[in-house]
Structure 1
Amino acid sequence: MLRRVVVVLCLLLMSACTAVPVDAPSESPEPAEPSLSVEISRPPLTEPPVSVQTPDVAKPPAAEPDLVLATDASGDSVLLIDPADRENPVQDTIPVGAAPWDVYVAAGQAFVSTAEGVAVVDLDRRARTALIPHAHQPARVEFGEYRPGGTGIVASDDGSTVYVAVVVAGGTSVLEKIDVAAGQSIANVEVGLRPFDILLSDDGSEIYTIDHDSFSVHIVESGTFAARRIEVAPFGTEGGLASWEKPHYGAIDDDGNLLLPHQGLALAVVDPATGTVAVEEMTANSHQHGAAYTDGKLLAIGTGAFGNATGEPNLTIRDPAMGREEIVPLDRLHETVLPWTDAAGTQYALLSGGYTRDGFWPGITAVNLETLEQYEIEVSGRPQSLASTTP
């Protein structure tokens, strides 16, 4: 009997010692049942309660804006532009040389073809660091699409070598190879007349000149600088220099083919390896200038009714694999097109207002490639060629 009383007393003492205080946190998400049915008087607090603050959750850094360079073909500068800033898009103006035509970005530098030579721009400093003269230097500075001097330009990935097309007054245009560190042209070869645009193969082994007035593409080996010509004339060569049915700009697709839109009526697909030219139908019916390729789609600018094209200014968004096209009407004339993605990941086509003929305007049109909605930003001068600072 005595043993049973002792056990009962121990159990009561253990229960009292292990009871959970009412102000202690519970591990259960639901309120805990009290271990005893008696009320426990809480003593008054002698210190203020400790305030526990939840630490701020670190926010991811804001995405850096993808800035764009535009050549002012009527002046002597390139414009540094934030296309997302619709009120004040021009972030800086960088003098480079008279009548800048094209711009290419590699290894933190921009290379600009001008009437005076190739300008080298340090993008961090936002300043020209060199002006390398052409081997075929113009006798005087001129402006406009017929001016002598540099036109299309590309560079090696490391920025050590630049390739620039140079229009020679009264002669055949040339492609020059420039050693940037040495600051001079180290090789050149004749190509076609007035190469508006040049392209670089993905592996850097070949340069392609788009010879506007020669109905041709020249394929130049970057090592030997040997060149071969491919005629590209889906509508024939009748009319010669007076013809409108000529190549202007081009793009390279995922298979390494050159895509050259003509008049919004024909797409010339050039295989550089074999030299064959296949022609596919297009539907924009608009004299085409700038072209670019992005995410499996060809973008091409139509400038309106010229030659055998009778339609209005527009933008073609073409899926070459499926042969489907979307045609986006435009209210203004444009020269080149650049794929651009904003900080939210929305893809746009940026269209430069610096059309090479009458009708240019000081601005850029942005076309949302998903909704096809458009907006314009105002810049100065004649923005002709565009390049992203983060290619």
Structure 2
Amino acid sequence: MRAGRPCRRISGGVRPERPAVDVALARRAAAETDGDSTEPADRAGDPQLLLVTQADRDSVAVVNPRDRDGSAVVDEITVGAAPWDVAVHPESGRAFVSTALGVAVVDVATGERTRLLDYRHRPREVAYGEYRPGGLGLAVSADGSTVHVAVSTGDEAFLETIDVGTGRVERSTPVGRRPFDVLISHDGREVYTIDHDGFTVTVVDTTTFDARAIEVAPFGTEGGLASFEKPHYAVLDPGGDLLLPYQGRALARVDPVSGEVTTSALGADTHQHGVARADDGTLVLAGNGPFGNAGGGASIEVVSPDGGSTVLPTERRHETAAIWQDADKTYGVLTGGYTQDGAWDGMTVVALDAALGGTDDSYEIRVPGRPQAVVPVTLPHREGTP
């Protein structure tokens, strides 16, 4: 794997001092990078960028993945302490960020936080790091009117359903402990929490708010909270099943209707966290090394739609993954904010067609502040900026 510039490591638990960002200079650099690219973005519209939570700060970064030389950060938007997850609703032009104390609502066009939606189970104080109380995974409804956010108190967790218009928590549904991820079914009738410390996926009906837990533990639950064989993140396939990677050894497929769990083999043999799915069915999986029953090193695994697997060894560890589209090329992007030791100030970009063809042309970009969750975003040009 080809590395970019060395990246400074940020430790968890304490927020570092935040350096000033020259937004105009960063935007100018992004524009120059786009212009010089041998594979320019589609000029018929604004290029696709990334929104990335900076878990050791109070901000999300707007990131240009094309910048391989300097900082890839185009802008930083203050959202609130210890942001975890981010979701974008393109039609309304808003992004939603789960922070320690509430869900930040961000106007994507202006780059400003417009509101903070309080949790019902709001922590009394701010903390940083993987075990901090507050918001974890979140998802926004298709019409943008409702945000579903997992809120951890430490001992318990709840799926809080917030009406964006009123800002009120309409329902608070108990779910499994420490839900790293939240997804919404394609028809919007169910919400799924990925309960890291519960070895479960909780299915919540969005009409009745009845909840049922499905155990997803391909390697059992031995070890309890100390186990590494727990769920982290998931994606939905077109048929509505959830796909969750475990230890680079098994891809669990969960049918949320029947509760049936089946598995297929993976090839990385490494402790896996993030997963992303491209439109053609290609999966990108973040692997972090020999933990639990996994014996392999850190890697990025790319799984083709027919199930074939390519494993790209890397010295870096990653937390989450997303799909980024640049012109006619599809990339996997993986964040360096691994929740345990080994986090770094950057992200890795992987061309999926090259990886499946046996070529590793991945590269690193620089993003400070322990970049954790990432989503693609089309950022319109702002008045007064280059």
Q: TM-score, normalised by structure 2?
A: 0.83
Unaligned segments of structure 2, at least 5 residues? 1-41, 356-360, 380-386
Verify: 1:197 aligned to 2:181, yes or no: yes
Match runs of 1:284-363 below 5 Å:
284-294=268-278, 295-319=280-304, 322-342=306-326, 344-363=327-346
SS at match of 2:84: coil
Contact 1:136 1:168 in 2 (8 A): yes
Corresponding residue of 2:39: none
Deviations 1:280-316 (A, max 9, x none): 2211100000011112122211111000001011111
Match runs of 1:135-150 below 5 Å:
135-150=120-135
Correspondent of 2:137 among 152, 156, 164: 152
Letter in 2 for 1:165: A
How far residue 318 of structure 1 moved from its aligned partner, in angstroms, is: 1.5
Segment drifting more, 278-287 vs 93-102: 278-287
Deviations 1:90-120 (A, max 9, x none): 1111000000000000131100001010000
Corresponding residue of 2:365: 377
Q: In the aligned structure 2, how far is the partner of 1:368 from the partner of 1:262?
A: 23
Contact 1:148 1:167 in 2 (8 A): yes
Q: In the aligned structure 2, how far is the partner of 1:95 from the partner of 1:155?
A: 20
Corresponding residue of 1:218: 202
Segment drifting more, 248-257 vs 70-79: 248-257
Letter in 1 for 2:349: A
Q: In the aligned structure 1, how far is the partner of 2:347 from the partner of 2:263?
A: 31
Correspondent of 2:47 among 54, 65, 70: 65
Deviations 1:208-259 (A, max 9, x none): 1000011100000112211111001111111110111111111111211110
How big is the alpha-carbon RMSD for the aligned residues of Structure 1 and Structure 2?
Answer: 1.4
Corresponding residue of 2:105: 120
Q: In the aligned structure 1, how far is the partner of 2:335 from the partner of 2:77?
A: 18
Match runs of 1:84-123 below 5 Å:
84-86=66-68, 87-106=70-89, 107-123=92-108
Verify: 1:261 aligned to 2:275, yes or no: no
Q: In the aligned structure 2, how far is the partner of 1:274 from the partner of 1:335?
A: 30
Q: In the aligned structure 1, how far is the partner of 2:160 from the partner of 2:134?
A: 11
Contact 1:333 1:355 in 2 (8 A): yes
SS at match of 1:376: strand
SS at match of 1:213: helix
How far residue 63 of structure 1 moved from its aligned partner, in angstroms, is: 4.4
Deviations 1:153-197 (A, max 9, x none): 00012211000000113x321000001111121101100010011
Corresponding residue of 2:115: 130
Contact 2:320 2:372 in 1 (8 A): yes
Structure whose alpha-carbon radius of gyration is higher: 1
Q: In the aligned structure 2, how far is the partner of 1:326 from the partner of 1:319?
A: 8
How far residue 345 of structure 1 moved from its aligned partner, in angstroms, is: 1.6
How far residue 323 of structure 1 moved from its aligned partner, in angstroms, is: 2.6
Closer/same/farther in 2, CA of residues 75 and 227 from structure 1, 3 Å limit: same
SS at match of 2:354: coil
How far residue 64 of structure 1 moved from its aligned partner, in angstroms, is: 2.0
Deviations 1:317-336 (A, max 9, x none): 1135x332111212211100
Contact 2:274 2:285 in 1 (8 A): yes
Q: In the aligned structure 2, how far is the partner of 1:115 from the partner of 1:389?
A: 23
Contact 1:65 1:82 in 2 (8 A): no
Letter in 1 for 2:152: V
Verify: 1:386 aligned to 2:374, yes or no: yes
Aligned pairs, number: 329
Contact 1:316 1:325 in 2 (8 A): yes
SS at match of 1:371: helix
How far residue 85 of structure 1 moved from its aligned partner, in angstroms, is: 2.5
Q: In the aligned structure 2, how far is the partner of 1:346 from the partner of 1:282?
A: 25
Corresponding residue of 1:178: 162
Give identity over the alignment, percent: 53
Contact 2:139 2:147 in 1 (8 A): yes
Q: TM-score, normalised by structure 1?
A: 0.82
SS at match of 2:160: strand
Q: In the aligned structure 1, how far is the partner of 2:128 from the partner of 2:72?
A: 25
Q: In the aligned structure 2, how far is the partner of 1:82 from the partner of 1:319?
A: 26
Q: In the aligned structure 2, how far is the partner of 1:141 from the partner of 1:100?
A: 11
Deviations 1:28-56 (A, max 9, x none): xxxxxxxxxxxxxxxxxxxxxxxxxxxxx
How far residue 360 of structure 1 moved from its aligned partner, in angstroms, is: 0.6
Q: In the aligned structure 1, how far is the partner of 2:88 from the partner of 2:208?
A: 24
Corresponding residue of 1:28: none
